[in-house]
Chain A
């Protein structure tokens, strides 16, 4: 059973550096989502894709954040010029087409620490 996978699982970076995270959804899931979770909070929506099209972006996704899903399969989330406030768990989820399209399956997350 191959669930959603995310790499790396942990990333420590210095303020001002760029980082990129990768998400591989469950195969044949056409929607892919990115969320951010900070300590003591629930996940907060960042953006989602249907196939390769980015259909919705949160206001949380500042100009320093960019997400892509070039071939409608895996996705990358890049953060440029990282700030300490970017330290969080970044979660990826995917959902299938059809009647279960609202059921999101989450990956293990990438924990980012900005020093």
Chain B
């Protein structure tokens, strides 16, 4: 069955620390991958997406993600987090359909 896994459920970092959130998917064939962010009290917002081409994609607010096909991974990274990055982050995937499958999310808390 198609699935998306996020193994880090809670992450706590100090400001200026580097961030990497894991995302693994199980899909056959072509896959489209997304990272969404949900700030406290706000709705889900698209951070970045991968459809094809360069496996390193850059999104808003300094975030980037790397698609590694051999590892079925699409990890989210940011070299230096800020307090304002405190949020919940969701990885999502779709393949040949408009239906997204989401991971369970990672709650990031950045300490000032």
Contacts and interface: CB of A to CB of B under 8 A. Distances in A.
B65 interface: no
Contacts of B44: 43, 91, 93, 106
Interface in A37-52: 40-45, 48
B75 interface: no
A74 interface: no
B99 A105 contact: no
Interface string A58-91: 1000000000000000000000000000000001
B105 to A, nearest CB: 5
A106 B43 contact: yes
Interface in B26-64: 32, 36, 42-46, 49, 51
A69 B27 CA distance: 30
Interface string B53-85: 000000000000000000000000000000000
Category for how many chain A residues contact B = 20 to 34
Nearest to A50: B98
Contacts of B24: none
Contacts of A106: 36, 43-45
A103 B46 contact: yes
Contacts of B43: 3-4, 91, 106-109
Interface string A23-34: 000000001010
A43 B104 contact: no
A105 B46 contact: yes
Given A102-B49, A108-B43, A43 B102 contact: yes
23 contacts: A3-B43, A33-B100, A40-B104, A42-B4, A42-B90, A42-B92, A42-B102, A42-B104, A43-B90, A43-B102, A56-B97, A56-B99, A91-B44, A93-B44, A101-B98, A102-B49, A102-B98, A103-B49, A104-B100, A106-B44, A108-B42, A108-B43, A109-B43
Interface of B: 4, 6, 32, 36, 42-46, 49, 51, 90, 92, 94, 97-105
Interface of A: 3-4, 31, 33, 35, 40-45, 48, 55-56, 58, 91, 93, 95, 101-109
